[in-house]
Structure 1
């Protein structure tokens, strides 16, 4: 069929299955090593800052009831939500199932 020998098709298919299994396992390990840090904003408007301090510049804003995925790192009462993005823990309510 299509001029490709069956043995070559079997080898190619087997390699594809092995690659899929490898990457699926790697992704599962990565998700287990990163706890789920899910929060909801509990402020009308929450300033997102460049660093963990009210003296840092504002780089964004979150609004009431907005869901936020964050990182486990907390410093000076601020939780890191992304690279150079921090929000006050006083206005982040842990979502159901939060393991962070």
Structure 2
């Protein structure tokens, strides 16, 4: 087939498959980075977004230091957040809370 050894065809097929998976993965990451946020500049400016000021910021399942840790962010990470604060914690999304002492609203964003 095509005058190439079977082994060469298998290597080429595997490489093509890896490239396809890489491209698909890159597209998904780009889509997830937006977190389904609005794409118009006016809409983005009204959404709360914060910067992490701690070296490592733990994400909790509820607004309580004793709540289970469900993730973490490194310093200077930018994260979409909600205006909701409770018990000294800011809500990022359902089941994701961070200490409000270690996040700073980004200038021009409405974080209430």
Assess same fold via TM > 0.5. yes
Shift of 1:99: 1.0
Q: Structure 1: which 5+ residue stretches go unaligned? A: 1-26
* CA distance in 1: counterparts of 2:91 and 2:102, whole angstroms: 13
Rounded Cα–Cα distance in structure 2 between residues aligned with 1:72 and 1:95:
13
Partner of 1:16: none
Residue 61 (structure 2) pairs with residue 62 (structure 1): no
Q: Does 1:94 align with 2:105?
A: yes
Aligned to 1:52: 63
Query: Superposition RMSD on alpha carbons, in Å?
Result: 1.8
Q: Distance in 1 between matches of 2:93 and 2:105?
A: 17
TM-score, structure 1 length as denominator? 0.65
**If the length of structure 2 is used for normalisation, what is the TM-score?**
0.58
Runs of 4+ in 1 over 6 A off after TM superposition: none
Aligned pairs, number: 70
Q: Which runs of 5+ in 2 are unaligned?
A: 1-38
2:47 match: 36
The one-character-per-residue Cα deviations of 1:52-77 (angstroms, maximum 9, x if unpaired) are 00010000001100001101110000
